[in-house]
Amino acid sequence: MQTHEIRRRFLDHFVKAGHTEVASASLIFDDPNLLFVNAGMVQFKPFFLGQQAPPYQRATSVQKCVRTGDIEEVGVTTRHNTFFQMAGNFSFGDYFKEGAITLAWELITKPLDQGGYGIDPERIWVTAYEKDPEAAEIWRRVAGIPEERIQFRDGKDNYWDMGVPGPGGPCSEIYYDRGPEFGKEGGPIVDEDRYLEIWNLVFMQDVRGELSPKLGHQPVGVLPKKNIDTGMGVERVALVLQGVDNVYETDLVRPVIAKAEELTGRPYGAGSHEDDVRFRVIADHARTAAMLIGDGVNPGNDGRGYVLRRLLRRIVRSAKLLGAEEPSMREFITVVRDTMAPSYPVLDTDFERILNVAVGEEAAFRRTLVSGEKLFETAADEVKSAGNKVIAGSEAFALHDTYGFPIDLTLEMASEAGLTVDEDGFRSLMAEQRQRAKDDAQARKQSHADLTVYKEFVDRGETEFTGFAELTSEATVLALISDGVRIPTATVGQDVEVILDRSPLYAEAGGQIADIGVITGPGLRVRVRDVQKIAKKLWVHKVTVEEGQITEGDAILAQVDANWRAGATQGHSGTHMVHAALRQVLGPNAVQAGSLNKPGYLRFDFSWQGQLSEAQRNDIEAVANEAVTANHPVNTFVTDLAKAKSMGAMALFGENYGDEVRVVEIGGPFSMELCGGTHVAHSSQIGPVTLLGESSVGSGIRRVEAFVGLDSYRYLAKERALLAGVATALKVPSEEVPGRVEQLVERLKVAEKELEQTKAAAVLAGAGAFVERAERIGGLLLVAEAAPEGVAGNDLRTLATDVRGRFGTEPAVVVLIGSADGKVPFVVSANKAAQDLGVKAGDLVAAFGPSIGGRGGGKPEMAQGSGSDASGIPAALSAVRARVAEIAG
């Protein structure tokens, strides 16, 4: 049975059992404890936490998930994926243990022609929490599973909670016996390779405190309503139903391995465990990377972006180690699209953008590998120069951590160079890094905010937003909240939160910051500083009471600051103009990756590889302003999500939209986006759009900033005044300023070059004096001196090379230590004759470096670096002389 069919049967089974089918949430979810969605229940957490009343009592979904706890273990075991599909059914205070067990058993064992999976009941084993005999009794009674195939386990295996205080409960896990060829008999407690877990049923009934029942601690309470949360691993069920040995050989994963075999010329499953792991890494990571990019993640140096970057780089590394010399990312991502798109159409509709991001990162990493190879060669030369055979673990770790150079390639290249690597030292540093990351992640984990105070109002329904039609609205004060507690009244000087039944003030969303305004009544004036949403539906006004007293139940007037709103609509509509202009100039791959707009200003982030040219920036600005001048009408309408997308409306990646969406259309096909923000009535009201600049905010993400309206005019007036001032100073008309400035810059470059030549000549003029002061130590001539003040960098290297050359074939060593800008640069140079006597520049650096707090490296004939302690220069020069004397005997 194909994986897409497994998904369909699961959803059909639960829909027929009265469940509402809910679409998968984005992998990027607004949860402070999660980097990515990692379980099917994540989007339902507000219901389980009691923060919102669920709109249905039963739900079912197939949630896309990513878990990245131990990326380096992927492929080593054959049952884990970083990306996987979690099919689940959920009950919110409806059915409980018996209902969950019955529904799961029916789907697993029901014959194929009746819509089930047709799995042999005799091969099913289950586990239950050691303190939950009720679950075991239900399995015996409902499913007829005999006592010997029901096993009890402790909380570490069979109790679930969120890792922080909140709901939790015992689990019952379903296992499939793959047969004696896969391991020992005795059930899951003996061998979890033979007995494969395919489904976990969580009976959510407890309130967990600071200490988890998973570790034997008692729950602190009982949930008012008992809930069900289950998760069936789609890939694992595919393994069972397709009769393959592991998840990497199922129908949606094996084709990527086949492509890797084709590109590398090596076979999978031919007996090389190392090769098989690399094939699995490629297949797993290619799927995960494509899904992450599809949901709007871009490679970066921290957070989600760093995870994606690691995945893509591991693909490149694995392919290289398998023998692929040419770029291969395009082929892998294409296979992922072809296999996964039937369930995830975004992989097809947004393929070019996904491909461009993945291929761009591959190209960048291949360049990193080239530079990394050079860094490795330097490190290897230093090791050999010191007469050693082992590259330090710290060096290998620096290559891996700082430069992104994989340890596998370091090991391979070390072997080719006749060296080894201190792998224990490297692994130790890696373990320390992982522990720091885990500690940091744990520190960032937080208890879920107590939103109980808002629940009553969330459950009432959405705050009526009147701001599309009016700026002043009559409203009733539903509640006043201070520090998470409802209060009956607030007086002058108090900062509180106000909940109204209706409001014209825009709550921050979609990149548009919140409105400001006032709440007034008889003898009352309250300044509204901010408006935020709770559960995406409840408007919470953050206010300061300036006059009078506000009380729950008051009838008031809520009023938006009209000037603020006018500027805000210009900024938001201007953002749409810039987005449309970007896509017109750059093409459809310039996809929104975030935005911020406020009165008079906007910034817009978009997916793009490489800096924009001046011509492109000018074209974008021109297209946006042409649309402004055209005075396009701005139309808004509400429709269903599918229809909006079919019309070509743009959506923001990572955003979870409801069934009904608001579409903002400006100029017909020119701009059409899903948007809940406030906008101008006609495009001309935006005023001039002036791009301020364009920059990088991460790998594959660019940012443009712009002024609109009066802010744009003020900026241009300031620029005009600045240009006029420069023209006056240069005594030329404004239109001639660029040419004149270019002339001055060229003259300055010539003058700087002449100055450098003069400076270099002066430095080299002193070379003869150094030669005359050379010391003879044994059969060697040594120049060990402090360099002239201010001489550093290339000048110091040039001087040392010149001095060394003046000794001809006589063995000579030159050591010059300078002092410039608070640093202590140095150069060591040894000619061929000195090297033949045993002098190596790197050895001398090791001898004197500690005296000046410095380190450096290079080759036997030349080494350089820098220190930090100029007071140690005399001691450093003495150390040089002592070391040369030792070498000279």
Residue positions forming the annotated binding site? 572, 576, 675, 679
| Cβ contact 846:386 at 8 Å | yes
Residue 772 CA to residue 791 CA, distance in Å, equals 20
Residues 347, 351, 356: CA angle, nearest 5 degrees: 130
Centre a 10 Å sphere on the Cβ of residue 122 and count the other Cβ atoms it contains: 9
Phi, psi of 92 (to 5 degrees): -110, 85
Residue 512 CA to residue 569 CA, distance in Å, equals 9
Residues 671, 623, 584: CA angle, nearest 5 degrees: 55
Residue positions forming the annotated binding site for Zn(2+)? 572, 576, 675, 679
Residue 534 CA to residue 524 CA, distance in Å, equals 26
**At a CB cut-off of 8 Å and minimum separation 6, what does 387 contact?**
none
Residue found by looking up tokens 């004197």 in the block: 848
- Give the three-state DSSP class for 604: strand
Query: What is the helix (H) or strand (E) element at residue 715, kind and residue range?
Result: helix 709-730
Residue 406 CA to residue 746 CA, distance in Å, equals 44
| Cβ contact 694:703 at 8 Å | yes
- Directed axis angle between helix 3-16 and helix 234-242, to 10°? 120
Residue found by looking up tokens 């000087």 in the block: 493
Mark 211-237 as b/e (b = at least 16 C-beta within 10 Å).
Answer: ebbbeeeebeeebebbbbbbbbbbbbb
Residues 62, 63, 68: CA angle, nearest 5 degrees: 140
List the end-to-end C-alpha distance of the chain, in Å, as a whole number: 80
Alpha helices (H) along 207-268: 234-242, 254-264
* 3-class SS letters over 831-855: CHHHHHCCCCHHHHHHHHHHHHCCE
Residue 26 CA to residue 44 CA, distance in Å, equals 13
Residue found by looking up tokens 């007034």 in the block: 520
Residue 587 CA to residue 582 CA, distance in Å, equals 7
DSSP assignments along 791-814, one per residue: --HHHHHHHHHHHHHTTTTS-EEE
- Give the three-state DSSP class for 186: coil
Residue 215 CA to residue 211 CA, distance in Å, equals 8
Q: Which two tokens stand for residue 114?
A: 């009746």
Residue 552 CA to residue 482 CA, distance in Å, equals 13
Residue 362 CA to residue 324 CA, distance in Å, equals 13
Residue 166 CA to residue 32 CA, distance in Å, equals 15
- Give the three-state DSSP class for 304: helix
Counting every residue, how long is the chain?
Answer: 889
Q: Which of 581, 612, 615 is nearest to 696 (CA)?
A: 612
Q: Please, is 185 exposed, middle or buried when counting C-beta atoms within 10 Å of its C-beta (0-12, 13-18, 19+)?
A: exposed
Q: Which two tokens stand for residue 339?
A: 């296999």
| Cβ contact 230:14 at 8 Å | no
| Cβ contact 172:150 at 8 Å | no
Centre a 10 Å sphere on the Cβ of residue 755 and count the other Cβ atoms it contains: 10
Query: What is the helix (H) or strand (E) element at residue 83, kind and residue range?
Result: strand 83-92
Question: What DSSP designation does 38 have?
Answer: -
